[in-house]
């Protein structure tokens, strides 16, 4: 995030900033499938239960291909099915 921030004139992100963003009410979806699913559900409920679309953004330049594929597999096999059950 610091590279993008530098391009946009933002100050560098600190570890504390990152922890807030990845915390229960933060914007980042970081964690195991259960944590990510719970956070999506919590945010959806806070917005009136109207989230119909989530975009997962991963940086392929800094994430090894096998990790990118593992994350994609977990999204499809462990997160999406739980969210579909709630529809």
- Residues 18-31 have pLDDT tens digits of 999 999 899 999 99
Q: What's the pLDDT at 49?
A: 86
Q: What's the pLDDT at 64?
A: 92
- Residues 47-67 have pLDDT tens digits of 998 788 899 988 888 889 999
Q: What's the pLDDT at 1?
A: 63
Q: Where are the domains of the chain?
A: 2-85
**What DSSP assignment string belongs to 49-68?**
S----------TTTS-HHHH
Sign of the C-alpha dihedral computed for residues 83, 43, 51 and 72 taken in this order:
negative
Write the CA distances from 33 to 4, 25, 28, 29, integer angstroms.
Answer: 26, 16, 13, 10
Q: What is d(CA 6, CA 14) in angstroms, rounded to the nearest whole number?
A: 13
Q: What is d(CA 26, CA 29) in angstroms, rounded to the nearest whole number?
A: 8
pLDDT band at 3 (very low <50, low <70, confident <90, very high): confident
């Amino acid at each position: 995030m610091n590279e993008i921030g530098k391009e946009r004139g933002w100050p560098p992100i600190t570890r504390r900033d990152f922890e807030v963003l990845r915390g229960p009410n933060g914007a980042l979806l970081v964690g195991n499938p259960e944590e990510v699913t719970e956070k999506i559900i919590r945010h959806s409920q806070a917005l009136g239960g109207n989230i119909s679309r989530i975009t997962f953004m991963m940086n392929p330049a800094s994430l090894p291909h096998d990790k990118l594929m593992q994350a994609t597999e977990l999204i499809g096999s462990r997160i999406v099915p739980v969210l579909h059950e709630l529809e």
